[in-house]
Chain A
C-alpha cells in the first residue's frame, strides 16, 4: 500500500518525512508517511481503465473539475433540455385536470428540446475526440493498456451517456413527476410500457446523434470545425433531402437520409403516435433500416479514421 505507517520519534534526526524510512519503535507516535514508494497493492485491470476513461470523459465534457468557463456552454444546454420539462410539471401541478389536452406528449417533447439536443450533440463528441488528438492525450491513452478499439468504445459510452442526460433525463423526470401528481399512466403495466418507450426513444436519439457526432469528430482534430460541421449537417440533411425529393422529384425513400427527422420519426413509431413529417410516410422497417445504415456508415468511418490515425507522441 502506498500509505505506510512509520513508527518512532519524529524529532529523531534519522526521521525523514516522505523517505519511507521505518524507524525503530521509540514511542507510541504513529506517522502516516506520504512519500512516493513502490506499489504492490491490487490493480483493477482493463475494466478499471475503461471506467476511468468514461468517467474522465464525462467530467471533461461537462467541464467538471475545471474552471467556470469550461461549464459555461454545456451546463446551460443541459438546463435548456430540462426547463420545458420542469415548466410542464409545474403546469400539471397548478392545473390538475385536463393538462394532456395542451401539454406535449412524450414523443412530442423531443421536438420541444430539439435545439438543445442538436447543440449538445455538436458539442460533446468534438470535445471528447478532437481535444484528445490536439492535446496529445490520445498518445497518452494509447501508451496505456487502452488500445484503439477500447478507446473508441470508452468515448462512445461517454458520448451516449451524456446525450442520455438530455434525452432521457427530462421525460423521465416528467414521468415520475406526473405519476406523483396522479397524472401518470394507469397501472403498473402501462407505466412500465411508457418507461420502456421513453428509454428506447432516448437511446435511439442518443445512439444516432452520438454516432454522427463521433464520425464527424473523427475527421478532424479541430473542435470548432467539427462542431460547425455537425450543426450544419443535421439541418442540412433535412434541407437537401426536401429539395431532392420535394423539388427534384426523386424517390421518397431519400428522405431516410434526413438525419434531423429520422430519429424523431422513430420516436413517434416507438410511442405509436402520428407525426406530421413526410419521412413518416415510409414504412417502419425502412426507418429502422435507415437507422442501422447510418450507424454502420458512422462506425465504419470512425474505425477507418482511427485505425490509420498517426498519433502524436
Chain B
C-alpha cells in the first residue's frame, strides 16, 4: 500500500449521470477530489450517498465518467474498495458486538492478517479516544462513541482515502468538535484523504480544504474553500458616517455603475460585483467606493474586504 502523499486527484468525475428507474438522481455531476479533506455538501436527498456508493463501485453510472484511484470503480470495485475506508451514515451497528472485534473484522475484510488487524483495531480505537472502551459492546455506547467506532473501522486498514457519510450526525456540539478535530488530524498527520459528506455548511467550512456542492442532482460549485469563497474577497463591507440624503445619492450612483451591486441598510453597506463570485474584481469595487465617498463627502467609519462564508456560496448556488 503506497503511503506517499499523492498530488494528483484521487477521484475525478465528469458529467456523471445516475437514475434509479426513471427517477434521475444525478445529472451532469463533475468534480475532483484532491488530497486533504473535501466536503461533499448538499441538502438531504441531494445525491451525496449515491455519489459515495458510485465511488465505492456499488452503483454503475448511467452516463459520464468516474475515475477512482486510476480505476473505473464499477469495473474494478474490489481493487478500489480495498484502498478505501467507509463510514456509513446509520448508527445501527450490531449491538452485541464489541468495538474492537468489529473494527478488527472490517480490517480483515480489507485484507489485513488477523494479528495485524487486532493490533491496528486497537491502535485505531485509541486514536479516536476509545481505547478504554474498546471491549464494550457497541449497543452500550453513546451515539458519539459509535460515530468514533465507525471512524476507527474506516481507517484501521490504512486506506488511501476514507468516505465519511454524515460523521457528525446526532452529535452534541462538544462531540462534534472532537469528531471534526479527529478528521483534520487523520488528514494532516497521517496523510489520509477524507471525503466528508455533510449537509452542515459550517463544519465543511471548518475542516475541509475543498468542497463540492451538490443540488438537484448537479454540481452547483466545487473547488477549494478559498476559491469558493472568492479568493481575496468579493466586494467590500462599509460603515458610513453621513446624512441619509448623501448616502442615498452615493448608493444611486454606485448602482448606475455597470456590474455593481449594493446591499444593506442606510449606514452599513455591502458593495460587490453582481456577476457572482469573482476574486479578481474586489480591487475595482474598492476604487469605486473610495471615489464615490470622496465625491459625496461621506465619512468612512469602516471599510474592509467582504469575504463570503460558505453558506453564502451555498445559498447563491442553490438559488
Contact = CB atoms under 8 A, between A and B. Distances in A.
Interface of A: 1-3, 18, 34-46, 48-49, 51-53, 56, 60, 65-67, 70, 131, 134-137, 139-147, 311-313
7 contacts: A34-B119, A43-B82, A135-B93, A136-B88, A139-B88, A140-B86, A145-B81
A144 B106 contact: yes
Nearest to B86: A143
Interface stretch (B37-45, B107-115, B249-257): B107-115
Contact of B88 (A41, A51, A143): A143
A43 B92 contact: no
A313 B94 contact: no
A35 B52 CA distance: 29
B127 interface: yes
Contacts, number: 132
B198 to A, nearest CB: 15
Q: Which 9 A-B pairs have the closest CB atoms?
A: A52-B108, A43-B111, A39-B158, A144-B109, A143-B86, A36-B127, A36-B123, A38-B3, A145-B78
B94 A131 contact: yes
Contacts of B101: 65
A45 B89 CA distance: 26
Contact of A137 (B77, B93, B122): B93
A15 to B, nearest CB: 17
Contacts of A1: 116
Contacts of B93: 135-137
Nearest to B124: A36
B88 A147 contact: no
Contacts of B53: 313
Contacts of A40: 1, 3
Interface in B110-145: 110-114, 116-117, 119-120, 122-124, 126-127, 137
A52 B121 CA distance: 14
Contact of B112 (A35, A44, A65, A147): A44
B191 A41 contact: no
B77 A2 contact: no
A36 B96 contact: no
A134 B92 CA distance: 8
A39 B108 contact: no
A2 B119 contact: yes
A135 B111 contact: no
B109 A2 contact: no
Contact of B90 (A44, A60, A141, A313): A313
B98 interface: yes
B90 A67 contact: no
Contacts of A36: 120, 123-124, 126-127, 155, 190
Contacts of B113: 41-44, 48
A98 B11 CA distance: 75
Given A39-B158, A42-B113, A144-B110, A66 B120 contact: no
Nearest to B123: A36
Contacts of A142: 56, 58
Contact of A46 (B56, B78, B95, B114): B78
A143 B111 contact: no
Interface in B166-194: 190-191
Nearest to A48: B111
A49 B124 contact: no
Given A2-B119, A44-B113, A134-B92, A143 B58 contact: yes
Contacts of B111: 43-46, 48-49, 145
A22 to B, nearest CB: 15
B108 A48 contact: yes
B108 A38 contact: no
Contacts of A140: 86, 88, 106, 153
Given A45-B111, A67-B137, A136-B90, A39 B190 contact: no
Given A39-B116, A46-B78, A313-B52, A141 B109 contact: yes
A134 B91 CA distance: 11
B165 interface: yes
A311 B109 CA distance: 18
A59 to B, nearest CB: 8
B165 A313 contact: yes
Nearest to B117: A52
A135 B122 contact: no
Nearest to A135: B94
Contact of A2 (B96, B116, B153): B116
Contacts of A147: 77-78
